[in-house]
Amino acid sequence: MANRGGVVWITGLSAAGKTTLGEELSNEIRKHNLPVIFLDGDVLRSILGEITTHSREDRLRLAFIYARLCENLSSQKIFVVIATVALFAEIHKWNRNNLENYLEIYLDVPLHELRRRDPKGIYQRFDKGEATNVAGLDLEVDFPNSPHLHFKFEDGLNPMEMVEAIMHQMGANMLCLDGDASL
The predicted model scores a pTM of 0.90
Predicted pLDDT of residue 171? 82
Q: Does residue 175 lie within any of the structural domains?
A: no
Structural domain of 161: 6-168
Predicted pLDDT of residue 52? 66
DSSP secondary structure letter of residue 34: -
Percent of the chain with pLDDT over 70: 90
Judged against a pLDDT cut of 90, whether residue 108 lies above it is answered with yes
Predicted pLDDT of residue 3? 66
Q: Does residue 64 lie within any of the structural domains?
A: yes
Q: Taking phi first (over 0 means left), then psi (-120 to 50 degrees means alpha), and beta for anything else, what does residue 146 get?
A: beta
The DSSP element (H or E) to which 102 belongs, if any, is: strand 102-108
Q: Does residue 178 lie within any of the structural domains?
A: no
Torsion angle (degrees, nearest 10) of CA 150, 74, 45, 148: -10
Which of 18, 45, 10, 40 is closest to 117 using CA atoms? 18
Q: Taking phi first (over 0 means left), then psi (-120 to 50 degrees means alpha), and beta for anything else, what does residue 34 get?
A: beta
Judged against a pLDDT cut of 70, whether residue 153 lies above it is answered with yes
Predicted pLDDT of residue 178? 44
What is the rounded distance in angstroms from the CA atom of residue 179 to the CA atom of residue 161? 25
Predicted pLDDT of residue 45? 85
Q: Does residue 52 lie within any of the structural domains?
A: yes
Q: Give the model confidence (pLDDT) of 37-48 as tens digits.
A: 999 998 998 888
Mean of the per-residue pLDDT values of the chain: 90
DSSP secondary structure letter of residue 176: -
Q: What is the mean pLDDT of residues 80-104?
A: 96
Domain of residue 128, CATH code: 3.40.50.300
Overall domain count for the chain: 1
